[in-house]
Amino acid sequence: MAKQAARAPRRRRAVAAVRRHYASRGGVRGIMGSFKPMLAGGIAGAGSKIARGYFPQFGGILVNAGVGYFMKNETLMTLAGMEAGHTVLGMTGIGGTTTTSSGSGW
């Protein structure tokens, strides 16, 4: 019985150390946070394809900007801005680009 009592504090310290390490890495939120950019990209990609069927020129831009804004993803906001610039230049004829029927300048 005395041996079990002596082991308990050491085990508690080890368990506490593991919990501290796990919590310092963000816990469950840290694990989900690593997949958040991939999830945002998947939503934006699928949504853009659907939106381009309804709004050929600006559907993809609106979806990328919306998903980027609500999921706080700066990369999607940048891509939306780049695509918007490319689309606007294609509409004006500056730079020799043309507007395609899909609305995507890529």
* pLDDT the model gives residue 44: 93
106 with 82: CB under 8 angstroms?
Answer: no
Is residue 79 situated within a structural domain?
Answer: yes
* pLDDT the model gives residue 36: 83
Which parts of the chain sit beneath pLDDT 70? Answer: 1-11, 18, 21-33, 95-106
Is residue 17 situated within a structural domain?
Answer: yes
Is residue 105 situated within a structural domain?
Answer: no
Is residue 51 situated within a structural domain?
Answer: yes
* pLDDT the model gives residue 34: 72
CA angle centred on 11, ends 9 and 15, rounded to 5°: 115
b (16+ CB within 10 A) / e for 76-93: bbebbeebbebbbbbeee
Q: pTM (2 decimals)? A: 0.59
Range(s) of the domain holding residue 43:
2-96
Is residue 102 situated within a structural domain?
Answer: no
Q: What is the count of structural domains for the chain?
A: 1
